[in-house]
Amino acid sequence: MASIRKRNHRWEVRVRRGNNPTKCKSFTKLADAKIWAYQTELELERASAGIAPAPIKLNLFEAKKRYIDSIVSQHKGKDSETYRLDAIINRLGQNRDIKDISPNDIAQYRDTRLKLVSTGTVRRELVVISGLFNTAINEWNLPYLSNPVRGVKMPPDSPKRTRRLNQYEKTLLLSQAKFASPREVYLAILIATETGMRQSEILRLISNVIDFKNRTILIKETKNGEDRTIPISEHLASELGSFFNGTNSGFMLTRSGLQQAFRRLTKRLNIENLRFHDLRHEALSHFFELGLSVPEVQLISGHKTVDQLMRYSHARVTEIRSKLDKAYGSREADYRSSATRKVRVL
């Protein structure tokens, strides 16, 4: 029989069965305490029945392949998730048995990666590997397995980015991309800055989803699962028409190829701290500055909630100041006009 109680900010588990010695262990999380209690009770029950624990023979490479085939392949972000899993498993050791991976292994992996990448990146990687272990425990009939990720402290998420392009950077980026980069790289940058489309949506773009007459793009397989139609400028429609001229069925660029080309371009132009996804931030923030309403921008961006959308609204202080000057300047002019009329009446 297992009992769980909270003591000194930790969950203490005590498992006792028959004449066996009581087993005790404490955990930071209640979920971990419940898992250990269940596994320990099952182990004692099997031992009393004379049943030896079934050996777990599954190395990380096999576990990764099974997880990708059964779970990750159904996710919209399957490419990036698969890429992360491959990298993680390679670092942990493909031939290691899954049951031998300990919280210490995960902690060492975390600390090593934190020296190279951001906390947000490490956090996402740990979430991916944690998903593999949870699936193995819950769906692959491996009751003796525990999730080692739960035994380590997650790094904090990265601060939300607010990077925006100034007009000089935007002009320089587009002009140099047009004349000094592959055409697909230029077109991807132009689409991102004018529409706020995600990188994955751009790379999946094909000619039959573009309505050149009405100047719209139908975006399918979106992040939120719903199709959306966005308007495009006459200039962008012309560039797309030239690209999809009967010989181009779509982009040949890969995700990593586009990111590498973008990094090389910004480095050559001395544009610092700019990522391709920042172009989406720039486009959506610029829509608000143009006077589009929240529902209008939400229709273009595809965000289901206003809270999600407002993370991308980073208005420039200069733009706000100009609007305030215009508003209060107009009000001051009205006051003066009204005062002048009163004086004339008197």
Residues labelled catalytic: 198, 223, 277, 280, 303, 312
Please say whether the beta carbons of 111 and 153 come within 8 A: no
Please say whether the beta carbons of 285 and 313 come within 8 A: yes
Q: Is 11 buried (19+), middle (13-18) or exposed (0-12) by CB count in 10 A? A: buried
308: left (phi over 0), alpha (psi -120 to 50) or beta: alpha
Please say whether the beta carbons of 133 and 148 come within 8 A: yes
The Cβ of residue 147 has, within 10 Å, a number of other Cβ atoms equal to: 21
Helices 103-114, 78-92: inter-axial angle, 10-degree rounding = 110
Cα dihedral sign, 189-195-198-201: negative
What distance in Å separates the CA atoms of residue 190 and residue 193, rounded to the nearest whole number?
A: 5
Q: Alpha carbon 290 to chain centroid distance? A: 27
Residue type, 113: R
Long-range Cβ contacts of 80-88 (<8 Å, 24+ apart)? 80/255, 81/128, 84/124, 84/125, 84/128, 85/128, 85/129, 85/132, 87/125, 88/125, 88/128, 88/129
